[in-house]
Structure 1
Amino acid sequence: MRILRWLRDSFDYIFGAFARIFGPDDDAYPAVGVQPYEGDPYSSSWI
C-alpha cells in the first residue's frame, strides 16, 4: 500500500509540473503595450 501511494504521489507531482509548464498561461498582467521613454538622452560631458 505504501508503494502504491508513493507511486501515485510521484505521478501527481510529475504530471502537475508537466501540466504547469505546457498548460495555458495563468498570468494576470494588464495589456499596456510599449511605453515611450521621455527622459533626457545620455551625454558624456566629462571628456
Structure 2
Amino acid sequence: MNLSKSLTNAMRYISEAAIRIFSPSDDQYPSTGVQPFEGTPSKSSKSGQSGTQG
C-alpha cells in the first residue's frame, strides 16, 4: 500500500507540473503600449546636425 501511495503521489506531482508548464500564462501584467508624449519639446536642438563632429 505504501508503494502505491508513493507512486500515486509521484504521478500527481509530475502531472501537475506538466499542466502548469503547458497551460496559458496566468500572470496579471498591466496593459502597456505606446504612450502619448506629454512633455514639451527641447528648443536647443537644431535641425541638420547629427550631434557628431568630424
TM > 0.5: yes
Aligned residue for 2:10?
Answer: 10
For residue 11 of structure 2, give the secondary structure of its aligned residue in structure 1.
helix
Aligned residue for 1:25?
Answer: 25
* Structure 1 residue 34: Cα displacement: 4.7
Aligned residues: 37
Matched letter for residue 30 of structure 1: P
| Structure 1: 4+ residue segments shifted above 3 A | none
Q: Percent identity?
A: 46
For residue 28 of structure 2, give the secondary structure of its aligned residue in structure 1.
coil
* Structure 1 residue runs without a partner (length 5+): 36-47
Matches of 1:25 and 1:2 in 2, distance apart? 36
The structure number with the bigger radius of gyration is 2
The TM-score with structure 1 as length reference comes to: 0.65
Matched letter for residue 28 of structure 1: Q
